[in-house]
Chains A and B, each alone.
Chain A
């Protein structure tokens, strides 16, 4: 009998601490499968954020490092500048990357650091209990935007893929989602491609992944997927924002 579904080698198999229906588990799996298929597990170094994925070092079966809040791209830079032939990725939430760590991500992209960033956009600060993130949608209620995000009070939600795609050093910037099996398959393709762009030395690569936080959205796992599709995708359109050919 052929085994059609097995635990990727790039995952340790430790039990998720993520809430039921959370997108992080799906995304971890897509990243791990991509690592397996590219055969890079033993030369990959991953960097966890501060956020719900802070414990990702328990799950990814490769060398891992846990960074201070928002600083993962700088940590990745330090590693990659020394170990240029290794594959280095960061895994960051929207508070981590687009708020406190905006400086680091913009400059890493601008320098064309040959690293890969998995940016998980779930529109809230998950770990600290659902506060407003830079990516919180207009009208969205969070614990720190209790009246709904208002453009005049809290400003507009930030479109990270669009923003970073304007930078010369960015070689591959794309936005995907994990709300349907078809989208998850596309997400995995993008993840693999992002790794390949790094390995080809073309420049900085980032995959923005629209994800869910059922717990802080106050929705069940299925409704959360629906909410992602109906509310998030219209504001955060899926697709490639930057594709630089290898030279």
Chain B
């Protein structure tokens, strides 16, 4: 199965029956797959007139309590940011996929991880966060889609799935799970007020104390997410002196490079963030004090590296290696790691 299709089928398995999107490469297969698939399961696929409309359809759809989704890439995600801020504030569960491409501007459709900041540091206006999941295989595209809907409902939050365009295009075998029956009560949903008081979905808070109180409610949820949902995969981190941090498809390249270097006797390990937000800083923490140096490898000019630096908090040097528009080869990554190891006196 193709990565994008696995993601889309994962949504269907999770009970998502509504998709609102606008075409953009390299995300289009998600939409095309669901355009065929959703009517088969009694759902609705609707091609919106723009990403602005798509995210606002998701806002309305999520407000009814249904599992809804949208997908896009780079420029489309930028257009969605106002709506995402509204959805986060209104605490509406939904899933957004960014099958990312290179930027800034129109950029290109080549591999990139340069929307990390947009995904993890706001993107839209106001104090909010998304839960951000980064799959690294076609299987995870499916599994994380299913998981994303669960997290969205459990925490009443939009969840973003970040995948490189290349992972979306890749074919790998996947194990398909049975359909999930979502079991969340949504007494807040707008469905018509028969037999109850009217529900209001709203993001406006004119009185200053009310606005502040709302922000505290959101902040408490984000604190809970940070306490409960930091996730990472550890690879050869035991007694590693140099910790490489890489996520998504690139983490698989880094894994190969790390394994090769371990075989050569270099004490290097890999931390692969699975949640980009909340960032799994506790996993980096756990690698210290054995780890004497860190290195972020990204398909960007250096974005996640800032979170690595925050996690390390000056206790060890943090280096960076990045490319844009290509997934660097294992050899290139190995050389980059070796280079850092030498520079930091570890090899």
The stretch among A24-32, A65-73, A171-179 that forms the contact with chain B is A65-73
A78 with B56, Cβ < 8 A, contacts A65-B190, A68-B82 known: yes
> Does B226 sit within 8 A of A, measured CB to CB?
no
Given pairs A63-B192, A78-B60, 7 additional interface contacts (CB within 8 A)? A63-B200, A64-B200, A68-B83, A75-B56, A78-B64, A79-B64, A107-B53
In angstroms, Cα B196 to Cα A61, docked, is 11
**Residues of A contacting B: mostly:** helix
* CB-CB nearest in chain B for A50: B204
Q: Are A77 and B192 in contact (CB under 8 A)?
A: no
B182-198 with Cβ < 8 A to chain A: 190-195, 198
Known: A43-B192, A44-B192, A65-B60. A81 touches B52 (CB 8 A): no
Query: Would you give the 0/1 interface string for A28-66, flagging 1 where the beta carbon is closer than 8 Å to chain B?
Result: 000000000000011111010000001101001111111
Interface segment among B43-51, B234-242, B321-329: the answer is: B43-51
Task: Report the separation of the CA atoms of residues A71 and B86 in the bound assembly, to the nearest whole angstrom.
Answer: 11
A45, B59: Cα distance in complex, Å: 14
In the complex, the answer to whether B200 meets A61 with C-beta atoms within 8 Å is no
Residues of B within 8 A of A138 (CB): none
Q: Looking across the interface, which residue of chain A has its beta carbon closest to that of B46?
A: A81
Number of residues on chain A facing chain B (CB within 8 A): 33
- Say how far B64's CB is from chain A's closest CB, in angstroms: 5
Assuming the contacts A75-B60, A76-B60, A82-B66, asked whether A64 and B49 have C-beta atoms less than 8 A apart, the reply is no
| Smallest CB gap from A106: residue in B | B49
Q: Return the 4 tightest CB-CB contacts between A and B, nearest first.
A: A78-B60, A78-B57, A74-B56, A75-B60
| Interface contact A65-B192, CB-CB below 8 Å | no
Whether the pair A62, B198 counts as a contact (CB closer than 8 A) is yes
* Contact A83–B46 (Cβ < 8 Å): no
**Closest residue to B44 on the A side, CB-wise?**
A81
B56 and A104 form a contact (CB under 8 A): yes
Q: Which residues of B contact A220 (CB under 8 A)?
A: none
B30-64 contacts to A, CB under 8 A, are 44, 46, 48-50, 52-54, 56-64
20 residue pairs bridging A and B, Cβ less than 8 Å apart: A43-B194, A54-B204, A61-B193, A62-B193, A63-B199, A64-B190, A64-B198, A65-B63, A65-B190, A66-B200, A67-B56, A68-B59, A74-B52, A74-B60, A77-B60, A79-B190, A82-B18, A83-B191, A104-B49, A107-B48
User: Counting CB contacts under 8 A, is A103 at the interface?
Assistant: yes
Q: Which of B50, B60, B200, B202 meets A79, CB within 8 Å?
A: B60
Choose among A43, A55, A63, A107 the residue that contacts B204 (Cβ–Cβ < 8 A).
A55
The CA-CA distance from A75 to B54 in the complex, in Å, is 9
Tell me, yes or no, whether B68 is within 8 Å of chain A by CB. Answer: yes
| Pair A71/B52 contact, Cβ less than 8 Å | yes
Answer yes or no: A86 CB below 8 A from chain B CBs. yes
Q: B194 to chain A: which residues have CB within 8 Å?
A: 42-43
Q: B316: CB under 8 A from chain A?
A: no
Which residue of B is nearest A78, CB measured?
A: B60
**B225 CB–A CB distance under 8 Å:** no
| Contacting pair A66 B201 (CB below 8 A) | yes
Write out the residue numbers on chain B whose beta carbons fall within 8 Å of the beta carbon of A106.
Answer: 49
Closest residue of chain A to B50 (Cβ to Cβ) is A103
